[in-house]
Structure 1
């Protein structure tokens, strides 16, 4: 029988450490994906939200959770990171986790409203307030997903309406999973006494602040980035085994 033609498997991932992006570089890469490669914003948020849910399942596999109910609290802010959190919650529900969403300042963006409706239609509960008694959070949930601020937040936003949320998250004892940039951190300088996540999920590529991440696991979700963009920004992506879209970096770089 005739053998099938072999297809190029693409570039071999670099063995060098992944490149850590500045805020300007991350913004330029996202702009290129949106404008030159014609990714839609909904498409990117969906990709990122799914990847974040995958990272949660890797960090907290169902059989290993200490409680019978695989409960996860997803705390969403009003901007893009919050929308990624909504998509993450929806996928966690599909993966048989039990997410609850706290989304106090809902965006008027029609896209974000659609993501909210999807979660509501899937009977994912929304909290009307975040308990200030951190014991209630510790007792009710296995983990918290921090989708409050993210990379697009300006330094100092954590002192605004989100200050109370960050103060509560700073004192919880259960693991926190931060999406892209931990809330209250500067994209480049890192933490200024803010929250200390156990898990970080870097979207596209790690940001400079990830060098100062001291938690348990650092995942990168950038396999979808076209090769030419990887090359242009010299990402040195990690090797993604099989069909994985999310990979844990083996050690701090």
Structure 2
């Protein structure tokens, strides 16, 4: 049975409900999302296969998830590097970057060079709220993600993809198919076009809220914050 998917509109509504009726703070949700991302990396890229992780972060919540994931990855024993060209002045993001700098995790402005000095890449540039045109400096970054032979994990959506219809027909993201995707809270409709390994993350949704939004909760094992599910499946909610 295909997993139910969550449209961008309903994903935004669910986030708001989690922070109101669910009593979660945005800090909590971002921490849990980033923890899930870090565990997906651990499953995809064991330390024995290479410790260097390049985390590409956008200016919004998707980028914040990447910053949190990098902190956890450092504590697992990885060597993360952060590409975060449009750093938010919001207090939450400032605190996340301070936490990384306190761990002496390097930030780079040269994505191309960093790409040649890593073993795995996390695409945390754009999430479910992305729409419209990819603006500088991200077109060349997304082209590099498309063309690299290194494994790429996309957070919630491959950057530049349309949340409903999937990969773009033109522009820097045309032909971009990352090796893996982690859908946060629930898959988005684009998963019908995705062909790599697919994880669900965000082990905090109550059964009542999942039922309200018509979602299937995956079977999380033990302490895992992620569950792998078949790719390319989903029906629109």
After TM superposition, the score normalised by the length of structure 1 is 0.86
Q: 1:165 aligns with which of 118, 141, 163?
A: 141
Q: 1:184 aligns with which of 160, 169, 176?
A: 160
Give how far 1:243 is off. Answer: 2.8
1:174 partnered with 2:150: yes
1:37 partnered with 2:22: yes
Q: Are 1:202 and 1:218, in contact at CA under 8 Å, matched by a contact in 2?
A: yes
SS of 2:111's partner is: coil
Give the structure 2 partner of residue 207 of structure 1.
188
1:109 partnered with 2:84: no
1:227 partnered with 2:204: no
Aligned equivalents of 1:237 and 1:102: distance in 2?
33
Give how far 1:252 is off. Answer: 3.7
Deviation per residue, 1:85-130 (Å, 9 max, x gap): 1001000001101100011110011100000000000111111321
C-alpha change, 1:251 and 1:181, in structure 2 (3 Å) is closer
What is the number of equivalent residue pairs in this alignment?
Answer: 228
In the TM superposition, 1:145-160 aligns within 5 A as 145-156=122-133, 158-160=134-136
Question: Displaced runs of 4+ in structure 1, greater than 4 A?
Answer: none
Q: Which runs of 5+ in 2 are unaligned?
A: none
Q: 1:241 aligns with which of 206, 221, 229?
A: 221
Q: Are 2:62 and 2:125, in contact at CA under 8 Å, matched by a contact in 1?
A: yes
Over the residues paired in the alignment, what is the CA RMSD in angstroms? 1.5
Q: Which runs of 5+ in 1 are unaligned?
A: 1-15
Q: Which has the larger radius of gyration?
A: 1
SS of 1:49's partner is: helix
Q: Are 1:100 and 1:124, in contact at CA under 8 Å, matched by a contact in 2?
A: yes
After TM superposition, the score normalised by the length of structure 2 is 0.91
Aligned equivalents of 2:232 and 2:218: distance in 1?
13
Q: Are 1:17 and 1:236, in contact at CA under 8 Å, matched by a contact in 2?
A: no
Give how far 1:211 is off. Answer: 1.4
Deviation per residue, 1:166-211 (Å, 9 max, x gap): 1222211101110001100011110115221101000000000111
Deviation per residue, 1:5-34 (Å, 9 max, x gap): xxxxxxxxxxx4321111111111111101
Give how far 1:150 is off. Answer: 1.1
